[in-house]
Structure 1
């Protein structure tokens, strides 16, 4: 878990099924990414289980983002698609539209980047 001034970045688990469904099926977010969006809680759970496996296999680093005063997730941030030498990776992120343009993703990226290097 990582705490910033306004946020908590935390491990995603099975208790976040509804939050993941809400985030990954959001039409605004999905304008920017090409993926199969979850249609129900089962699909969201399968995604969570896949992410947990990818974390265990060191294929990704993945955090859910919540505000300090709330437990629900408002977004996610991850590193994935690592180079063979693990010196480079792609950053992936998504944030519910109500939280856009508030510096949340910049804050999450800065704090999580320190952990990853």
Structure 2
């Protein structure tokens, strides 16, 4: 058993794009994520069936702009702790609405925690 085995977090991380319909029952991942030493990276199950190592950041800074020539809207996400690297996601208007519905489903499942 690895030193990080006792530091697992159950976190829903699944793909969201213009081809994915929203789901009211957007369930958490079937396996927990595993924190690596230092707690700034983790191993998550990738929707392809493989695993991915990814950074962990606290909070989120979000910006957006119109991106009609390449898909509709560009969401720019940066970690809330001032991390310099960000992620740009291009979504259609339907994809954006689907993402919003998924976030609302997650919020509803969390209840009053």
Please give the range of the TM-score, normalised by the shorter of the 2 chains: under 0.3
Normalized against structure 1, the TM-score is what?
A: 0.25
Normalized against structure 2, the TM-score is what?
A: 0.25
